[in-house]
Structures are given as structure tokens and as C-alpha cells.
Amino acid sequence: MEKKAFVTRQLVEEIAKTYPTPFHIYDERGIRENARALKEAFSWNPGYKEFFAVKAAPNPFLMEILKEYGCGSDCSSYTELMLAGAVGMKGEDIMFSSNETPAEEYVLAAKLGATINLDDITHIDFLEKTLGYLPKTLSCRFNPGGYFAMGTDIMDNPGDAKYGFTKEQMFEGFRILKERGVERFGIHAFLASNTVSNEYYPELARQLFELAVELQRETGAKIAFVNLSGGIGIPYRPDQEPNDIRVIGEGVRKAFEEILTPAGMGDVAIYTELGRYMTGPFGHLVTKVIHEKHIHKEYVGVDACAVNLMRPAMYGAYHHITVLGKEDAPCDHTYDVVGSLCENNDKFAIDRALPKVEIGDYIAIHDTGAHGFSMGYNYNGKLKSAELLLKEDGSVELIRRAETPKDYFATFDGFEIYDRMFPECQDTVTGNRAEM
């Protein structure tokens, strides 16, 4: 699959006059088209709902776009719950899935009317003690243990994951919850990450549908929904074929009709919690080449670093790179593309074949629309970049400004950095520097 940037050098040069690099930019058209396709793929299920995984891209402007297509929010923290509430989500629009959950997060989730997805059997007592009651609708996260495989291919290792109930605990937990007044039950599982396979969701669905039939039959609990969570991946590499969401939806429908419908459970709603799939391909980290280095290897130094995109440093993850304006040039040079952190793993690419790169070139790093900006941090005192939205009409909107030193120092209550550094011009400190 050929990977093309959705921005051009000409556009980036124009944007950079107002919003300097580095910045994350998102493609509104792509996000909308993708959301429509997902909705259509599962339209066979009347109760279907996508709960966008907020952790992937916690930006209210993006969340509001997805809300137009009926998407709710999958939240895992206090501030993500706040974001969901701020964009008008409430009640069953919010799925709260967390682990080792502080009491105050359960309290806010309950206040918003969110559907709470319990991660452990001990959380039943913890939730009841925290709230003073148990909500009428609750979900439990299932972890089957062992390895999750499709055919002879091992996809992931749930047995090594810290999440979820064992199968035995699911039955015990449902009985306890039913005895304590819970009326509607959900099942949730996340067994493999970033699968580029049309078979993953249907196989996961079969396992969860079979479990749902057993649970309802043996405990009498009314299964209201099955949450397939995330795991549908994106093709980070050019040689990968993307998932076909319509094929995936049809595979889940077939499993539904073979397992749930004959069991008299044809009214079960299907939920998903996709993040990477929803926004990942529709984001670029745009950065400018500011240095080159010729030692034991050839290095290209850019003005972004792992603060802006940590996946390559953290996981060794591949992100495709386009040198804007040189899309048709031969990739006959080999570089490490690196940032400025005091860490040797601050590399966006290692031994990457690219066109000849020169200082001043703009680089688009692909597939940063999920787990890109959101995983950022401030090591070395680096500041997070701006987020921009390339709108359908071709205009560009700032949807999160870049951090400034004032943001970085804001939590030093009682220790005013600027007053100490620039006492003679403390009223003129703006942007990223003091105007002396």
C-alpha cells in the first residue's frame, strides 16, 4: 500500500508562518469518512455504539467530530471523564474502563451516569463502598489467560496482562452483582493490540458470544451488551494492507447470528472502543530538518523529538516518513532521523531509506493521529507541540496551542520562575522566550 501524506510542502510552508513546527495535524475529511464507514459496517446491530478511546487522542475538537456520527467516549481517568462531559457526553454515551481505579474516579463516572466496566472482582465491594450502592448496569472485563491465537498465529498474551476477571471470576462476579441488584450486564475484553487482520474481531466476538450465552444461562444475568473493545489496527508500514471494516462487521454479524440469535439473545448490543483505528491514520507529526550529522552514520536532526511522538523510542515502532516536496525522488540515501533529547533512543527512524534530505526540508511522520500527542511528556523540559485540524474546506484550525515555558513552570506555586529570571521585563514575557 502506498502511503501518501495528506499535506504538501506548500501547505506546510504556509501553515508554518503562523504555527511553527513541530506540530500535529489531523485530517478532518479522513476522520469523517472513516467514522461513517464504521457506523455502516455495524448498522445490522440496532444497539451498536462506538465509544471512542479518548486516550488515543484526547482533544475535544476531534471528539465532537466523532460525536456527530453517534460515537460515545471510552474513558479511563478522571480528566478523560471531564473531557467527555465537557463535549456533552452523558449517561450511556460514556464507558468508563479503568484499572486500579481511585475512588474519586468512580464517583465522577457515576455522577455522569457512565457505564462502569469493572476490571477486577474485588472492585465490586470497592465500588459499592465508594458509591453506597451498585449501579443497575455494570460491565466486567474478561481475561481468558494464556495466549490469544488465530490458527497457528499467536496474536497476543492475555495471560501476562494485568487486566480483567478470570472466567471463573466472571461467573462468581455476575452472581454477586445480580444478588446485589444489578439488572443489566455487559462483557468486555481486549485480547490483542493493533491487529492488521480482518479475522481478529470476528474471532474475539465468537469467544465473547459463547461466554455470554454461558453466563446468562448459568447465572440468570441479563446480558445487555458485548463490548469488543479495541484492537483493530492500522497499517503503519507501506507493505501492510489495511483492515476492511465492512468485512470485519460482516464477520461479527455472522458470529452473532450463529451463537447469540439461536440462544434467544438477539437483542444484545454490540459496542466497540476503537481509538487507533478511528484517528491514527489521519494524523501527521510535521517537523523541520534543522541539522545534519556525518559521523559513523548519517543523521538528520529535526525540531521534534520523542516528547512529540514517543512510540518509536518506547516500542521501536515504525512510522512512515515523507520528505515533503520530494515524494517522487528516489530513496537512495540512508539516515537515522533523530530528535534532540538526551536519550539515544530519541529516533523516529533508524537506517531509513529516504530521498536526499537537506536542512530546511519538512518531514511528515505518518499515522500519529492516535497515541501520538497524547503520549507526550516533558523530559528535558521539552514542550508539547500544537495540534491543528486540516478542515474539509482546506482551511487550518488551531485545536490546541503549543505549550510555553509558562505552562511548564505553572505548577511551581510560590516559586515564580519569570520573576526571578527576568524581573525587569516580567510583563513582556510571551510565547517561548522573554522579550528583552
Mean pLDDT of 99-125: 96
- Specify the residue for cell string 521534534: 304
pLDDT of residue 436: 38
**HSE-up of residue 33 (Cα within 13 Å, Cβ side):** 8
Q: Is residue 158 pLDDT above 80, yes or no?
A: no
Domains of the chain, each with CATH number or no CATH: 26-280 (3.20.20.10), 281-405 (2.40.37.10), 411-436 (no CATH)
pLDDT digits (tens, 9 = 90+) for 214-260: 999 999 999 999 999 999 999 999 999 999 999 999 999 999 999 99
Q: Is residue 428 pLDDT above 70, yes or no?
A: no
Over the Cα atoms of the chain, what is R_g? 24
pLDDT of residue 74: 97
**Residue 322 CA: distances (Å) to CA of 71, 78, 325, 330:** 31, 37, 9, 12
pLDDT digits (tens, 9 = 90+) for 308-347: 999 999 999 999 999 999 999 999 999 999 999 999 999 9
DSSP code at position 384: P
How many Å apart are CA 224 and CA 222, to the nearest integer?
6
pLDDT digits (tens, 9 = 90+) for 371-424: 999 999 999 999 999 999 999 999 999 999 999 999 999 999 878 877 777 776
Mean pLDDT of 187-203: 90
pLDDT of residue 193: 81
Residue of 426 and 222 predicted with greater confidence = 222
pLDDT digits (tens, 9 = 90+) for 53-77: 999 999 999 999 999 999 999 999 9
Mean pLDDT of 284-300: 97
Q: Provide the H-helix boundaries in 132-229.
A: 167-179, 200-219
Q: Is residue 168 pLDDT above 50, yes or no?
A: yes
pLDDT of residue 414: 79
Q: Is residue 153 pLDDT above 60, yes or no?
A: no
Q: Is residue 432 pLDDT above 70, yes or no?
A: no
8 CA to centre of own chain = 25
**Cell numbers found for residue 414:** 510560590
